[in-house]
Amino acid sequence: MPIQWKDYDSNGFYDELMRGGGRPRPAARAVARYLAQLDDDELAARRAASELAIRVMGITFTVYSEQEGSIDRAWPFDLIPRIIPSDEWARTEAGLKQRVQALNLFIDDLYHEQRILRDGIVPPDLILNSRNFRPQCVGVSPPLGIWAHVCGSDLVRGADGTLYVLEDNLRVPSGVSYLLENRLVMKRVFPELFEEHTILPVDDYPSQLYDTLASLSPEPKEHPEVVVLTPGIYNSAYFEHAYLAQQMGAELVEGSDLFVDDDDVVYMRTIAGPQRVDVIYRRVDDLFLDPEAFNPDSMLGVPGLMRAWKNGTVALANAPGAGVADDKVIYAYVPQIIRYYLGEDPLIENVETFVCLDDQQREHVLANLDKLVIKPANESGGYGMLMGPQASRAERERFAEHIKKDPRNYIAQPLIALSTCPTLIDKRVEPRHVDLRPFILSGQQTYVTTGGLTRVALRAGSYVVNSSQGGGSKDTWIVEVGG
């Protein structure tokens, strides 16, 4: 039976495609009409085609939590796109640029004058006790004064349709390769939709990333040597590392492929002899980047890399120490950070956030654990969270002890009624919760992906969209209304 939109019920949540009564939102009308024309066999054939494309294209992700150890899985993908009108996206893009500009000014200030701490905007203790503040970076001035060259900010839409920033990822944010591959899969499965409608492209990201990285080169060159530094094939994002290197025409290297010579310059080992490296897009965490400066046991990094970076002979993206702003406690202060450095109100609001280090806010959190989501300051991938409304009493009591023991490490937020998007489940279309991760590049120019990676919680009622915990993804279309 074809999709019957009149039977689709988002259960009271804001839906990205449909309004009540089976009426599509203006930007989704054409797609809704088209999908309703497909019968079960046609939908099944399109789904099979997408699964085949994902296997043929080798799109995988790695899950660590399986009992048998880490395994590669085919990328979970849903056929029904998320659609955002272009005028709304223009406002969102402006808000993301504003946010990342302020965060870069904040990081640069922390490693130099620390004016924002002296002026009492951000409590100094938060920085002094931050797991990601790197004393090794104090006084360093990276090219263009930019520390976070690649940022992935997670957006969620609340019950009234308002978009909020849920968190900022400034260390080694991943997921952009899936954004690009999702579009390629959709073009294979629904080529007619791309011929008939104005869907803004996303495929310029690799060239934009290369231009951003090249703009950081210590020496002006037409073609600086840019490499992607990966921890190796066992990293969950290895597919993305290899994909981006291939798309940019850059070398994919591991730490053992590089060395720092007596001149404090980074070289790559090649069959033609050492070749100077100008820019490293590193996908290795700070603490494993250079055993001379950080973890002496690390086999992933390059001895002397921090010396070379400090001497300005090589650029690192993201810069070491940028993760100090990738801290869920610092996130709570981003609106004040924007006002302090830019003198502007945030164009995209934060989700209301309680900082457990604050005595009054902590008491509120402890008294309302059954209503809040508790997050550790520096975890990612959905790990270490407590979904208070869905947790057992024992789980809440255990988290209460964690908070009392280490309040600096926790924030709390109300459970946002995440928006839904129609998702193909077996032969039915059902609502599933989604978020959105756009990527922002900062170099000589600032660039925002057209849309972002829409992650979808494939389990009914679940709010956990992370692929490592059973989530999937959708293509995100930015369209002109009526286009």
Both structure tokens of 244? 């981006």
pLDDT of residue 69: 55
Question: Of 195, 169, 150, whose CA–CA distance to 449 is shortest?
Answer: 150
d(CA 374, CA 387): 7
Tokens 């080169």 sit on residue: 217
pLDDT of residue 483: 45
CA dihedral 216, 219, 222, 226 (to 10 degrees): -50
* Residue 60 burial by Cβ neighbours in a 10 Å radius (0-12, 13-18, 19+): middle
The string of DSSP codes covering 84-100 is: EEHHHHHHHHHHHHHHH
pLDDT in tens, the chain (483 residues): 678 888 898 888 999 999 988 899 999 999 999 999 988 888 889 988 988 888 888 777 766 555 555 566 777 889 999 999 999 999 999 999 999 999 999 999 999 999 999 999 999 988 988 889 999 999 999 999 999 999 999 999 999 999 999 999 998 888 999 999 999 999 999 999 888 888 999 999 999 999 999 999 998 888 899 999 999 988 888 989 999 999 999 999 999 999 999 999 999 999 999 999 999 999 999 999 999 999 988 889 999 999 999 999 999 999 999 999 988 899 999 999 999 999 999 999 999 999 999 999 999 999 999 999 999 887 666 667 888 888 889 999 998 999 999 998 899 999 888 999 999 988 889 999 999 999 999 999 999 999 999 999 988 888 878 776 678 899 999 998 754
Please give the model's pTM, rounded to 2 decimal places: 0.92
- Helix boundaries (H) for 255-312: 305-310
How many Cα atoms sit within 13 Å of 399 on the Cβ side?
Answer: 28
